[in-house]
Structure 1
Amino acid sequence: MSDLGAGFGYLMKGQRWVAQHGRWFGFGLLPGLVTLVVYAGALIGLGYGADDFVGWATPFADDWSSPWQGILRTGLTALVFVFGLFLAVITFTAVTLLVGQPFYESLSEEVDRSEGGEVPESGLPLWQELWISARDSVRILLRVALYGIILFACGFIPVVGQTVVPAIGFCVSGFFLAEELTAVALQRRGMVLKDRLVLLRGRRLLVLGFGVPLVLSFLIPFVAVFLMPGAVAGATLLARDLVDPAPAPEPGSGPGPGTADSGDAPAPPAWSA
């Protein structure tokens, strides 16, 4: 269970890193702001249209007496919106990372640089990196959609559907959200999607400790945008330790060599302005 706390610690370290590197925080906000506008419109539309969709999908209940028709359709409307919100949490990160690929790639590299040691680079042209990210995101979203359908169906089970199913849904969302975020750093290290999933499943509690609190935070409007830069930074720190765990320091030893001072980080690249 200590891995849960350690995973949450990486999330906090990432937020602390961008707080100490203010220009990189502003640099990382731009893709999230663009994506937020699009998603806000989509969720508002879903909120207005979910009841009409449920009414269209349940014609058999047109002649039901009160209160049964209202109970059925109100419950289904809530489930449709929750399902949409569930997909939005996952796809928001995927779309934001895709839109902001150059931004977050530079941010992740700077985190590696500030922590010392090798700074891996993919060596691929931007168009190929975007293609790989888009392809992997689609594969992840297909997995999420499958889980979502199963959980949506299980939501009709009395008691379990209102307690256990939402908890599992948050865990599924947290795991795949963490995968999307760590992919920025792990792709630069030459890891394909299959290998990344194996790596993350090997430390499932650590990954959930990082991803689930982030999912819960993303449910608060606008919070996702402001947490994304720190989430990418924290995911990079998490990826570093998953791929190459740091050896335990000897008693009485000071900080290891190569640790850069947080104030020495260069400014974001000129094209980001």
Structure 2
Amino acid sequence: MAVRIHPSAYVDPKAQLGDGVDIGPQAFVDADVVIGEGTHLMHGAHIARWTTLGKNNRIFPGAIIGQEPQDLGYKGEESYTLIGDGNVFREGVTVHRGNRPGTRTLVGDNNYFMVNSHIAHNCILGNHIILVNGALLAGHVEIDDRVIISGNCQVHQFVRIGAFAMMRGGSGAAKDVPPFCINDGLNWIRAINVVGLKRNGFTPERVRAIKEAFKIIFRSGVGLKVALEKVEQEVPMTEDVQAMLAFIRASARGIGNGRGSSRE
């Protein structure tokens, strides 16, 4: 398929465009940009330098991908924004490149980023993630697959959010959110994301094991080390439970709290 570029768009001669790329009115494509086949830039979309977009992405009006990080230490050095396939960036979405030479912001495949959501420098996002309107990710945030970040949520720098987790609208995370969990308020691990798990094909047996582990970790009132040991002793060690324990043990920032927890 032929590349289509509207006469009012600007495409730098050093940009590389795949088959079937469609660039709309007043869109901007900088030097050293690679755009994969079938990607559509709507009017006013902006793709900044050193950005790579995969196949079949949709960039809506006013979205800005790959611009300089909001970091006072950044001095214009070459750094990158790498976007996979099949993503949707709605109006006003911003994604910033890495904040140091040779570093990158990385977004996987089939994600949906709604109006005015923000992905800061050096974030690493997996696949099938949804950022709802106004969701804000600070620098170096890591989000695993199938996570939902609801409207106007805020995620502190260096926070990790595990697979199939959810942040409720307006909530904040300054500590890690384990897989399968719902974050509410500020760092409150409220419950298991049961609806999300069922929608993604989790069997009742898988959900039951996750619930049992959750109750011990977040509702028993014992310290975290003891809670994890109790889970290993009392809960079937399914792959899901093992993933939850591994995520928590790898946490550098600590995890959010549950009601009845003695942890800070």
What TM-score comes out, normalization by structure 2 length?
0.26
The structure whose residues are more often strand, as a share, is: 2
The structure whose residues are more often helix, as a share, is: 1
